[in-house]
């Protein structure tokens, strides 16, 4: 729609009107008209005084709101708060902290923390079927990074030499994240935990990279054995970083974005929740503007609104077992 918001400032004003919130979300959620989230019935009636719909079938949640069946379900906070926060998370390169939301919107820091995790679930990519690469496609760069711990500023090659000598895998409470990037395209990530097992790494590659792709890695021996299924090229980082077309600078750029967000914005992240922050950064990265896909802030926010449907994260789920996990300081 023409008058839909284009900037954060627009969004804050626009979403102060509850009718705008409802229209905006309903249009994205129900492209073919409103349907009951529980039974799918379409002859539902709208109750304007409460901004809910009534399903004619008798079942739980026969009266449903725009939040029902989305990550916003049961939240006491209004959409005039939720939507501007979603706009910020979708578009701020380094993310937004719960403290910033607390200060700017007047919700408690704890409530803001819960909001952010629900939004991150919305950002989690549902498209798991698409493979990266392919024999005719751009090469796929594969790499790992270490998050947290004291040695965070040490370069990977140096750290790896240390850890290989000491027999430590992740070492020093760090968490290993593995990622792959089709050059100019999408990134996919997985959390390896504190170990880098060759078998697990190979399985992740085979599940996500099309056979016959050109893959680029560093010299790490865990990448041995991927040929002949893939055209494997590697560069020895102890000697140089780029050899012609062979480098992993695209995925390293993603790691630096991730670390900038984690270091600058989130201050401390529990290893247990790390995947949520990685998903958040991957959403922004995978929906970045490129020459072929000139996506803007408003498009990125709209996409997030579509992705919050059919997902749920309760406070109990989010905080389960959490008190047993140590915090990683950045
Ligand atoms: Zn129904």
What mean pLDDT value characterizes the chain? 88
Q: How far is the CA of 17 from the centre of ligand 1 (A)?
A: 27
Shortest CA distance to 79 belongs to which of 58, 60, 105?
105
Question: What pLDDT score was predicted for residue 128?
Answer: 57
Q: How far is the CA of 46 from the centre of ligand 1 (A)?
A: 13
Q: How far is the CA of 69 from the centre of ligand 1 (A)?
A: 12
Q: How far is the CA of 210 from the centre of ligand 1 (A)?
A: 41
Q: Is the CB of residue 134 less than 8 Å from the CB of residue 168? A: no
158-199: per-residue pLDDT in tens? 556 555 444 344 455 688 999 999 999 999 999 998 888 999
Q: How far is the CA of 51 from the centre of ligand 1 (A)?
A: 16
Residues near ion ligand 1 (CB < 5 Å) are 36, 38-39, 41, 55, 57
Q: Is the CB of residue 213 less than 8 Å from the CB of residue 231? A: yes
Q: Is the CB of residue 101 less than 8 Å from the CB of residue 112? A: yes
Q: How far is the CA of 67 from the centre of ligand 1 (A)?
A: 15
Mean pLDDT (whole number) for 25-50: 96
Percent of the chain exceeding pLDDT 70 equals: 87
212-242: per-residue pLDDT in tens? 999 999 989 999 999 889 999 998 877 777 8
Q: How far is the CA of 299 from the centre of ligand 1 (A)?
A: 31
- Residues in Cβ contact with 186 at an 8 Å cutoff, skipping those fewer than 6 apart: 130, 132, 286
Question: What pLDDT score was predicted for residue 169?
Answer: 45
pLDDT surpasses 80 at 153 = no
Q: Is the CB of residue 145 less than 8 Å from the CB of residue 176? A: yes
Lowest mean pLDDT among 117-121, 206-210, 311-315, 323-327: 323-327
Q: How far is the CA of 68 from the centre of ligand 1 (A)?
A: 12
Q: How far is the CA of 313 from the centre of ligand 1 (A)?
A: 22
Mean pLDDT (whole number) for 278-290: 94
Q: How far is the CA of 117 from the centre of ligand 1 (A)?
A: 28
Question: What pLDDT score was predicted for residue 241?
Answer: 77
Q: How far is the CA of 44 from the centre of ligand 1 (A)?
A: 8
Mean pLDDT (whole number) for 75-101: 95
Lowest mean pLDDT among 47-51, 88-92, 266-270, 317-321: 266-270
Question: What pLDDT score was predicted for residue 130?
Answer: 84
- pTM passes above 0.85: yes
Q: How far is the CA of 56 from the centre of ligand 1 (A)?
A: 7
Sole residue written with tokens 């979708």: 90
Q: How far is the CA of 60 from the centre of ligand 1 (A)?
A: 8
Distance CA 58, CA 54 (A): 10
Write the DSSP assignment of 273-313 as a string of letters.
GHHHHHHHHHHHHHT---SS----HHHHHHHHHHHTBT---
Mean pLDDT (whole number) for 34-58: 96
Please give the span between the terminal C-alpha atoms of the chain, in angstroms, as a whole number. Answer: 42
pLDDT surpasses 90 at 115 = yes
Q: How far is the CA of 41 from the centre of ligand 1 (A)?
A: 5
Question: What pLDDT score was predicted for residue 167?
Answer: 39
């Amino acid at each position: 729609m023409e008058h839909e918001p284009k900037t954060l400032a627009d969004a804050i004003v626009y979403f102060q009107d509850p009718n705008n919130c409802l229209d905006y979300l309903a249009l994205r959620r129900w492209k073919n008209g409103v349907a009951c989230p529980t039974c799918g019935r379409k002859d539902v009636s709208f109750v304007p005084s409460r901004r809910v719909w009534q399903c004619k079938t008798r079942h739980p949640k026969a009266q449903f709101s725009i939040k029902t069946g989305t990550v916003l379900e049961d939240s006491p906070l209004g959409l005039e708060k939720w939507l501007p926060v979603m706009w910020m998370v979708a578009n701020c390169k380094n993310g937004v902290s719960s403290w910033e939301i607390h200060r700017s919107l007047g919700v408690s820091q704890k409530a803001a923390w819960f909001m952010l995790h629900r939004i991150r679930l919305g950002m989690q990519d549902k498209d798991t079927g698409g493979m990266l690469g392919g024999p005719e496609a751009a090469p796929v760069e594969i790499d790992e990074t270490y998050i947290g711990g004291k040695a965070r500023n040490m370069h990977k090659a140096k750290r790896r030499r240390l850890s290989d000598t000491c027999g430590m895998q992740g070492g020093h409470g760090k968490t290993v994240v593995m990622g792959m990037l089709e050059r100019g395209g999408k990134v996919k990530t997985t959390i390896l935990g504190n170990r880098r097992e060759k078998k697990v790494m190979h399985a992740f590659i085979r599940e996500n990279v099309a056979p016959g792709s050109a893959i680029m890695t560093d010299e790490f021996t865990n990448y041995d054995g991927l040929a002949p299924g893939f055209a494997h090229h590697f560069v020895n980082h102890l000697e140089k970083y780029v050899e012609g077309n062979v480098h992993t600078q695209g995925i390293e750029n993603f790691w630096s974005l991730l670390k900038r967000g984690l270091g600058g914005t989130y201050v401390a992240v529990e290893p247990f929740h790390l995947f949520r922050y990685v998903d958040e950064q991957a959403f922004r990265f995978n929906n970045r503007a490129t020459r072929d896909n000139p996506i803007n802030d408003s498009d990125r926010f709209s996409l997030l609104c579509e992705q919050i449907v059919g997902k749920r994260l309760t406070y109990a789920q989010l905080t389960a077992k959490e008190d047993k996990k140590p915090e990683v300081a950045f």
